Amino acid sequence: MTRGPARAGAGVPVDDAMIARYRQDGFLVLPPITSDTELSELRRIYDRLFERRRSLEAGDFYDIAGRPGGDSGPTLPQVIRPEKYEPRLLRTAHFLTSRVIAGRLLGEDPDRLDFFGHMILKPAVHGSETPWHQDEAYMSPAWENRGLSIWMPLDEVTLESGCLHFIPGSHRGAVVRHFHLGYDPAVRGLATDEVDPADAVLCPIPAGAATVHDCLTLHYAGPNRTARPRRAYVLVFKAPSRPVAGAASRDWC
Ligand code: NI
């Protein structure tokens, strides 16, 4: 049930037509959701968190594309729940605007949404690709998930630096078969080959703009072939979920 008007409010760049497009395609490109000043502050916080990664709690920093303790440096390092270490992230226009947008797209009261932040770094030159996947493949099938990710790059993102690719309408299907990268269960990253990349829509966007995608939307990001890091800050929002009776387990879980 939608609470409040489903139209754009001050500072929230989502109108009814955008909501309809999101429900049709399972993804949406948003104009900037933060200011240049705040973006500079977010970059400082982001860089500081990756620099102090060894002091973060176990599980809050890992390389999703590699084995734990692997020999080579991380190629797709992530910081999970950065707001735990930098509570000011929850007082930014970026967070507050994103939460209202998520509420409108999910048809939920923003205050009832669960959320967590997620910072993904594709290092310059050797940042690896993020293979095709659905975010819901990472979630428990025992729960009916209704959620989305608001993905904001802190640097302009291009095809060469690893912009997102989406398959329109794929959120209306089920979770497809996934496998661990390299067929190695020690690697956290999941991938699927049940996708036709020819159907993809590419979304290069400037720093501070964002894309939103449903947790069932198939998406991919290429490797970073540029000389600059590709810093992305993702906010994941979930509506209150219900248990699924008799849920089947998944091979890759
Ligand atoms: Ni994803």
Tell me, what CATH number does 42's domain have? Answer: 2.60.120.620
pLDDT tens profile 166-190: 999 999 999 999 999 888 888 888 9
- The total domain count for the chain is 1
Whole-angstrom distance, CA of residue 179 vs CA of residue 229: 27
Q: Which domain holds residue 60?
A: 15-70+80-238
Task: With respect to residue 154, please indicate whether it lies within any of the assigned structural domains.
Answer: yes
Q: What is the pLDDT, as a whole number, of residue 71?
A: 56
pLDDT tens profile 110-129: 999 999 999 999 988 877 88
Task: With respect to residue 251, please indicate whether it lies within any of the assigned structural domains.
Answer: no
Distance from Cα 219 to the centre of ligand 1, integer Å: 6
Q: How many residues does the chain have?
A: 253
For the cut 60, the answer to whether the pLDDT of residue 10 exceeds it is no
Task: With respect to residue 245, please indicate whether it lies within any of the assigned structural domains.
Answer: no
Whole-angstrom distance, CA of residue 81 vs CA of residue 174: 27
Task: With respect to residue 210, please indicate whether it lies within any of the assigned structural domains.
Answer: yes
Distance from Cα 97 to the centre of ligand 1, integer Å: 21
Cβ atoms 232, 152 nearer than 8 A: yes
Distance from Cα 26 to the centre of ligand 1, integer Å: 13
Task: With respect to residue 249, please indicate whether it lies within any of the assigned structural domains.
Answer: no
Task: With respect to residue 30, please indicate whether it lies within any of the assigned structural domains.
Answer: yes
Instruction: At 109, list the tokens.
Output: 């009261």
Distance from Cα 148 to the centre of ligand 1, integer Å: 10
Distance from Cα 39 to the centre of ligand 1, integer Å: 22
Task: With respect to residue 7, please indicate whether it lies within any of the assigned structural domains.
Answer: no
Task: With respect to residue 6, please indicate whether it lies within any of the assigned structural domains.
Answer: no
For the cut 60, the answer to whether the pLDDT of residue 213 exceeds it is yes
What percent of the chain is predicted at pLDDT more than 90?
A: 70
Ramachandran category for residue 183: left, alpha or beta (phi over 0 → left; psi -120 to 50 → alpha): left
Distance from Cα 212 to the centre of ligand 1, integer Å: 11
